[in-house]
Amino acid sequence: MLKKIGQRLKNERGLTLIELLAVVVILGIIAAIAIPSIGGLINNSKKDAHIANAQQMVSGARLAITADQATVGSIKMEELIDKGYLEEFENPSDSKGYNQKTSVVTITKDADTGNYSYVVTLIGKSSSTEHINGDPDKVKRDDVKL
């Protein structure tokens, strides 16, 4: 009886090469599907961050208008930061940030309704890429450049 149990244990040697190969192939297929999906998620989150930064600039411009520090025209990001209407924020595409002298909010006022409209231009510091140029409330992910 003990000899049979001992012989049975000797015959079970673990996974065969074919079984191991099948597991590796399955893991490779899963990785091939998952990796591009994760890359797309990262790019979408960067684009969403650019849009959120543009909305922050509009909020700063609204504060400047409310405080009568600004009127119709363009306000540079640098001015909004210097006057305390905006805090510096990161550029998700570039670790060096945005160009504060060329990133602007352009404010126009409708003569009939008196409503303001805002167009934000966000430009990267090192790459000079124009990430957004438009109304941040209407900009879609496809309009944002990384």
Secondary structure letter of residue 141 according to DSSP:
G
pLDDT tens for 76-92 read 999 999 999 999 999 99
The rounded distance, in Å, linking the Cα atoms of 83 and 77 is 10
pLDDT tens for 121-143 read 999 988 788 999 999 999 999 99
The rounded distance, in Å, linking the Cα atoms of 16 and 32 is 25
Please state, in angstroms and as integers, the Cα–Cα distance from residue 114 to each residue in 10, 105, 107, 109, 138, following that order: 88, 18, 12, 6, 20
Secondary structure letter of residue 85 according to DSSP:
S
Measured over the CA atoms of residue 47, residue 50, residue 56 and residue 58, the dihedral's sign is: negative
Find the Cα–Cα–Cα–Cα dihedral 92, 54, 57, 79, rounded to 10°: 60
The rounded distance, in Å, linking the Cα atoms of 125 and 145 is 14
Which secondary structure element, helix H or strand E, spans residue 133, and what is its range? strand 130-134
The rounded distance, in Å, linking the Cα atoms of 83 and 53 is 18
pLDDT tens for 44-87 read 999 999 999 999 999 999 998 888 766 788 999 999 999 999 99
pTM above 0.85, yes or no: no
* HSE, side-chain direction, 13 A CA sphere, residue 74: 11
The answer to whether the CB of 105 falls within 8 A of the CB of 119 is yes
